């Protein structure tokens, strides 16, 4: 089969492309801004990439066009279509489908799907679960919204019956407004947490809760739902109906709980101590991610003790508190956090770790409100609380339609803003001193801020 993927350089669609190629299909694709590292990864797999969405690509005549949710029926100011190829596909009557639908029909069907959903921690928990199953000899397939360092790739078919997938609640395509995860039909569903997000497509938290319940409706009676027992929104979702075996993790009285610090803790399953997790990860959020992965793996017969032992060798995916370098005693991290809760938990985890070390260490948070939700200013008022563990916070405010300086005003001199990357970097370099930890947080490339900071620190001497 020849498939041509529209929006192939996105993390999810790039994963679909890799899986299709591994399965023996001919894969081509297009995107706007075809650049490394995704372009290099795809070309290394023998996938031809085309820059842009020109209508001339219709001449490729693939068996099916696979459409990413970056594609729309939008028009440019001059009235021309933003995606001419999509218009040509519709006009010609050519066959097209969405990425999640193609994945469900050609990869997931007939396999034991383990889907990891939630506002936060999906990528990390998916990678943890895939690693546990791999170490148990189950040879799982997986599709992760990042690159797990344990595997070095974001997706693989796997040789076993299990397939672990990051289950996103964002909509499927312009012609299918259901959440992506509704297509996956999991036998094991992990519900990590649930908050309001994606203000560009959801009007309220209740709207997202409804989509999560649609996911629950697809889990069979012999399946398992693993849910965060401390999350009120998830409890409301479960109250709408749950027809599968239910296991809770997190707080006291849950089926799976943790005792100890996030970097070294005991795992209790059903009231009994069953294992110990010792690793290099920080934060209570990662402790909860571990419990979720252990509870999900148990559904496939992996003993919690073995799962806990496997996590001792787990490495975070790229861009999850990834150390990009250390110069002059200053450490620079790259993190994907962009929602206020993710920012707060990331900084809290680092603060806990630093407080256990001798000497005084400052945290300098450098972030950009880049997600659609943050660009709308929906959660601007939550930023000062999210940044409470930062000694200084630097916000890139270019292109925002709301006043970030006013939002950070409660932080006083600790909160600073800049309209462009270079002035932002200059502010950070002027403030940085040996022993500092600079955490750069964005769900985009952030203008190469990490390399600029490291180069500036080196020049500073």
Contacts of residue 406, Cβ cutoff 8 Å, sequence gap at least 6:
none
Question: Three-state SS string across the chain, please?
Answer: CEEEEECCCCHHHHHHHHHHHHCCCEEEEEECCCCCCHHHHHHHCCCEEEECCCHHHHHHCCCEEEECCCCCCCECCCCCECCHHHHHHHHHCCCEEEHHHHHHHHHHCCCEEEEEECCCCHHHHHHHHHHHHHHCCCCCEEECCCCECCCCCCEECCCCCEEEEECCCCEEECCEEEEHHHHCCCCEEEECCCCCCCCCCCCCHHHHHHHHHHHHHCCCCCCEEEEECCCHHHHHHHHCCCCCEEEEEECCCCCEEEEEECCEEEEEECCEEEEEEECCCCCHHHHHHHHHHHHHHHCCCCCHHHHHHHHCCCCCECCCCEEEEEECCEEEEEECCCCHHHHHHHHHHHHHHHHCCCCCCCEEEEECCCCHHHHCCCCHHHHHHHCCCCCEEEEECCCCCCCHHHHHHHHHHHEEEECCHHHHHHHHHHHCCCCCEEEEECCCCHHHHHHHHHHHHHHHC
Say if CB 254 and CB 190 are below 8 A apart. no
Binding residues for ATP, by number, are: 118-124
- Which phi and psi angles does 64 have, rounded to 5°? -155, 140
Which residues line the annotated binding site?
118-124
Half-sphere exposure for 92 (CA within 13 Å, toward CB): 18
Pair 384, 411: CB distance under 8 Å: yes
């Amino acid at each position: 089969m020849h498939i041509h993927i529209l929006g192939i350089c996105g993390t999810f669609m790039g994963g679909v492309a890799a899986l299709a190629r591994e399965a023996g299909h001919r894969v081509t694709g297009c995107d706007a801004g075809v650049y490394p590292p995704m372009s290099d990864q795809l070309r290394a797999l023998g996938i031809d990439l085309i820059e842009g969405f020109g209508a001339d690509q219709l001449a490729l005549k693939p068996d099916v066009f696979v459409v990413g949710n970056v594609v729309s029926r939008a028009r440019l100011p001059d009235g021309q279509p933003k995606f001419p190829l999509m218009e040509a596909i519709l006009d010609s009557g050519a066959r097209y489908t969405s990425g999640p639908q193609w994945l469900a029909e050609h990869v997931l069907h007939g396999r034991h799907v383990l889907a990891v959903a939630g506002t936060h921690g999906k990528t990390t928990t998916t990678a943890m679960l895939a690693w546990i199953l791999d170490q148990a000899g189950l040879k799982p397939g997986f599709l992760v919204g990042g690159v797990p360092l344990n595997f070095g790739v974001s997706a693989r078919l796997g040789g076993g019956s299990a397939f672990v997938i990051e289950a996103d609640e964002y909509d499927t395509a312009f012609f299918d407004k259901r959440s992506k995860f509704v297509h996956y039909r999991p036998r094991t569903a992990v519900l990590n947490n649930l908050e309001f997000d994606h203000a560009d497509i959801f009007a309220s938290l209740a709207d997202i809760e409804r989509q999560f319940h649609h996911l629950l409706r697809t889990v069979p009676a012999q399946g398992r739902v693993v849910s965060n027992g401390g999350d009120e929104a998830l409890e409301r979702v479960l109250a709408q109906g749950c027809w599968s075996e239910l296991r809770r993790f997190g707080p006291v009285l849950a089926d799976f709980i943790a005792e100890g610090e996030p970097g070294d803790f005991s795992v209790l399953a059903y009231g009994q101590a069953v294992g110990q997790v010792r690793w290099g990860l920080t934060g209570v959020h990662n402790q909860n991610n571990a419990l979720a992965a252990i509870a999900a793996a148990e559904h496939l017969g992996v003993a919690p003790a073995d799962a806990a032992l496997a996590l001792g060798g787990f490495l975070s995916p790229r861009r999850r508190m990834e150390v990009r370098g250390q110069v002059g005693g200053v450490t620079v991290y790259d993190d994907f956090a962009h929602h206020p809760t993710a920012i707060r938990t990331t900084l809290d985890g680092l603060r806990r770790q630093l407080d256990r070390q001798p000497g005084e260490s400052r945290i300098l948070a450098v972030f950009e409100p880049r997600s659609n939700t943050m660009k709308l200013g929906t959660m601007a008022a939550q930023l000062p609380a999210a940044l409470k563990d930062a000694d200084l916070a630097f916000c890139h405010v270019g292109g925002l339609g709301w006043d970030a300086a006013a939002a950070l005003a409660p932080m006083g001199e600790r909160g600073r803003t800049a309209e462009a990357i270079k002035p932002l970097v200059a502010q950070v370099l002027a403030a940085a001193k040996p022993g500092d930890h600079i955490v750069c947080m964005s769900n985009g490339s952030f203008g190469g801020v990490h390399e600029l900071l490291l180069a500036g620190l080196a020049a500073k001497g």
